[in-house]
Structure 1
């Protein structure tokens, strides 16, 4: 009896134990990595930086949250609610504009240019103006949240709507169907990963917009408590607020990512697109078209500007018209001195925005590539990267600048942090867009992972990376102004703060116009480079 039982007993020791160990090892490595990071954080905060008021310790943060949890939860609920409304409004506008462009491709350049102007408006400058318009209600927080969000979703969504195999669109057209059917049946499916990436990246941006709105004079919220903590040197309190904000942002980020994975369970399809064969127009024709589009965009922006001021019936004392800006910059007797003032501030800002921009891009691409080659590193470090971006930069920027100095280095680090995360997320999604047939081919020839990354995944990543580089160009400039506004007392950010505080509204509006123009120019420069590269590596992005 014993022999028979032994004979039919299934083997449970070796294979089952090995499979269980394989499942638990990644979890244990991730938990160990987090434990090491928290221990290092505690050591640095309590030993290396003791008495500097630069970094809160994990134990001190936990104690502060336990002591003030009711106050913090109420503030977090208020800020989270305004950020959520801004997130929903901004992304709804982005999706609506993307659908409009996909249905009417001729509208793409005009829609993108007008939307870009709105996105490039410095939040730190229009925040006080919105406070004057809305008063003490939630309007500034929600508006700034929506402005910070919508373009981050619009650009990758348009990239995704174009990421369609030409054979699919040819099949739809062969049945006599038009653009609407192609959009509903083909393009919406193709754009799901890119939409998910945009929705994830915009989560911390929504929080940033809400906090900037609260910094302009709100009565409650995480931003108000952060100001009080900064003024009273309550380091643990400030870091507790930042940690709670980051935790909420990470949670929403994870939920959005989970939803994106549910929508895109399959491997991407090979894009059988060929380079465009139509003869390119002459240079003078392209320049004429671009000039015409620029003039139309400028006219539309000016009309919108005037219409909003008229509809809102704003006082001309602080709500300046285009003619006022033109006079301050061009026709007034002091116009030369005024232009010199803005140019000096712009040079100071460019010294931190440009290196921060490139540092963020390089770090984002490098980290995404490392995550692809080392999954264990990805499991450990991805939550850290997400948490770093989700920590409200508006709360810790003064501390970073104080720790690294008020010169170029401190502000450059702030800019790099705000540029790095969107690039990382876009590149991680882009690397996963490598068609399954391509990776199968490399596996057939036993190609090492680094070769697959270099020859297959990075080319597939290029549309996502270049779209993030395009968004990051104006974002770097705006990030520099935020850091200068909060901490350094230099550059455009400081000029915006001083002119708003001293009621020099002509100077304020003129500075906003110039900064917006520079941000648009930076975006346009990256866009030109992007088109030349995508014409070779992703020709499907060249046409609808």
Structure 2
């Protein structure tokens, strides 16, 4: 098993190295009219511009993405709980979740911009709506995952829906909920960056990328895009670590019960 894990790790590393090599060749040969810089030119751009520039811009983006992450996930989990406790609202709740997922952010943004005069509020809203559907559906699926026998046992002892939710469903829902939240972390970053593109605050990854595009600084555009991807990946990794330990705990708790 350990050997298989090592092989998989080496295969992943080899894939990354191969991708960087192909990127370097394409950039060096200028196969797409110079629109793809080499990895070295991107790193050189980061060094020349200085880390302060990127920290200043991404600190706001990360803050707004995190706020949207909390709001979106919090409301999604709350709505899933409401559906479990009051089943008649499921149709409306599901339609609301699907609407939030299917409606393009670009179409929603002008309405949100009119409704919320404050730029940061609009960006937080767009980050929140980017994570709402995934977390709501994942949580609802998890809350419905317990074995019927476990729920019947709570009924036998005089417990109702609230007791089932607290003692059985909440623990059983952790794996599915955390799996959805893992996906929500990078989605919140994407929503925040797109919101910055549309709202144009004074600082942020979105405005920084627009300025780099307008000035023709292709390496900086790539640098901002890659850092955005790294931030999204870091968010996914952090939630994945938390999910690993929380899932192990929930499995032990469920077994104990």
Q: Identify the match of residue 255 of structure 1 among 226, 230, 238.
A: 238
Contact 1:103 1:180 in 2 (8 A): yes
Alignment map for 1:527-538 (pairs within 5 Å) = none
What is the CA–CA distance in structure 2 between the aligned matches of 1:267 and 1:147, rounded to whole Å?
A: 28
What is the CA–CA distance in structure 2 between the aligned matches of 1:257 and 1:63, rounded to whole Å?
A: 32
Could you state the TM-score of these two structures normalised by the residue count of structure 2? 0.87
Cα pair distance change 1:248/1:164, threshold 3 Å: same
Cα deviation code 1:74-114 (max 9, x no counterpart): 11111111111011111110111111111122221122223
SS at match of 1:241: helix
Corresponding residue number in structure 1 for 2:38: 57
Structure ranking higher on relative contact order (CA contacts 8 Å, 6+ apart): 2
Is 1:235–2:218 an aligned residue pair? yes
Could you state the TM-score of these two structures normalised by the residue count of structure 1? 0.43
Alignment map for 1:164-203 (pairs within 5 Å) = 164-203=146-185
List alignment gaps of at least 5 residues for structure 2.
Answer: 253-257
Corresponding residue number in structure 2 for 1:128: 110
Cα pair distance change 1:130/1:190, threshold 3 Å: same
Contact 1:136 1:217 in 2 (8 A): no
Cα deviation code 1:285-331 (max 9, x no counterpart): xxxxxxxxxxxxxxxxxxxxxxxxxxxxxxxxxxxxxxxxxxxxxxx
SS at match of 2:216: coil
Which of 1 and 2 has greater Rg? Answer: 1
Cα pair distance change 1:177/1:207, threshold 3 Å: same
Query: How many pairs are equivalent?
Result: 250
Alignment map for 1:73-472 (pairs within 5 Å) = 73-135=55-117, 137-218=119-200, 219-265=202-248
Cα pair distance change 1:234/1:97, threshold 3 Å: same
RMSD: 2.6
Shift of residue 41, structure 1, vs aligned partner: 1.7
Divergent runs of 4+, >6 A: 19-23, 266-269
SS at match of 1:228: helix
Contact 1:97 1:111 in 2 (8 A): yes
SS at match of 2:248: coil
Contact 2:27 2:34 in 1 (8 A): no
SS at match of 1:233: coil
Contact 1:131 1:216 in 2 (8 A): no
What is the CA–CA distance in structure 2 between the aligned matches of 1:91 and 1:147, rounded to whole Å?
A: 9
Shift of residue 249, structure 1, vs aligned partner: 1.0
Cα pair distance change 1:22/1:202, threshold 3 Å: closer
Cα pair distance change 1:33/1:113, threshold 3 Å: closer
